[in-house]
Amino acid sequence: MTLQWAAVATFLYAEIGLILIFCLPFIPPQRWQKIFSFSVWGKIATFWNKAFLTIIVLLIVLFLDAVREVRKYSSAHAIERSSASRPAAYEHTQMKLFRSQRNLYITGFSLFFWLVLRRLVTLITQLAKELSNKGVLKVQAENTNQAAKKFMEENERLKRLLKNHDKEEEHILEAENKKLAEDKEKLKTELEKASDALSKAQNDMTIMKMQSERLLKEYDQLLKEHSELQDRAGKGNKKSL
């Protein structure tokens, strides 16, 4: 095996090893995501696409060369097989055909596994991001549920407080209304008493007025009688003189 095909075979074995490692079930995608997020990958990320395309081009070139070799030695193998006069040449051609077919399989599987490896890394990265987003969404949903539950409990508590407050206000209003009714009855009673007292006072005033008028009349009459008595007394004195 020449150096280039030995390198392709080593590259194929490395690809198979990486794919097997990526497919291990006990390594979660989040762990691979952490490994892919190392700073060293960020440094070589700029050269990754160029290296990927370069390796694809090299593998395609080697694959086409292997196809050419297979076709070449297949036709030569058919010619040598039809001619039985040169058995050594036939064996040599068959050996080269086997090598060209081996190189074809190596390059074909290398190219195939290289594409699979690129796709596998992309899927692992996407799966890790989706799982991370799922974890974040789960935490957000739990926080939202807890907040909603807390708001519902707070709402129920406020409703109970408002209901109790309404009941207390209703009791207070009933007590105030009852007190106002009692005060109204007291004022009404006091007003009736004051009205009775006023009526009694007016009656007493009327009686006193009548009594004073009667006394004035009697006083006037007494003054009149007194003046008449004085006049009579004066006339009697004059006659006696």
| SS3 state of residue 27 | coil
Angle in degrees, 0-180, between the axes of helices 39-82 and 87-240, rounded to the nearest 10: 150
Using one digit for the tens of pLDDT, what is the confidence trace for 136-180?
Answer: 777 887 888 888 888 788 878 887 777 776 666 677 777 777 888
Residue 197 lies in a domain: no
State which residues form the domain around 54: 3-152
Q: Mean per-residue pLDDT for 102-109? A: 88
Q: Is residue 188 part of a domain?
A: no
Position 26 in a domain: yes
Q: Which two tokens stand for residue 217?
A: 């009349």
CA distance 239 to 241: 5
Q: Would residue 49 count as lying in a domain?
A: yes
pLDDT for 83 beyond 70: no
pTM of the model: 0.51
Q: How many domains does the chain have?
A: 1
CA–CA dist 166, 160 (Å, integer): 10
Whether 128 maps to a domain, the answer reads yes
CA dihedral 137→143→146→151, nearest 10 degrees, is -110
- Residue 198, Cβ neighbours under 10 Å: how many? 10
- Check residue 36 and give its pLDDT: 66
Q: What is the structure's pLDDT at 80? A: 52
Residue 202 lies in a domain: no
Residue 115 lies in a domain: yes
The pLDDT tens digits of the residues spanning 54-78 come to: 888 988 888 888 888 888 777 755 5
The answer to whether 72 touches 34, Cβ cutoff 8 Å, is no
Mean pLDDT confidence for 211-227: 77
Residue 166 lies in a domain: no
Q: What is the mean pLDDT of residues 209-213?
A: 78
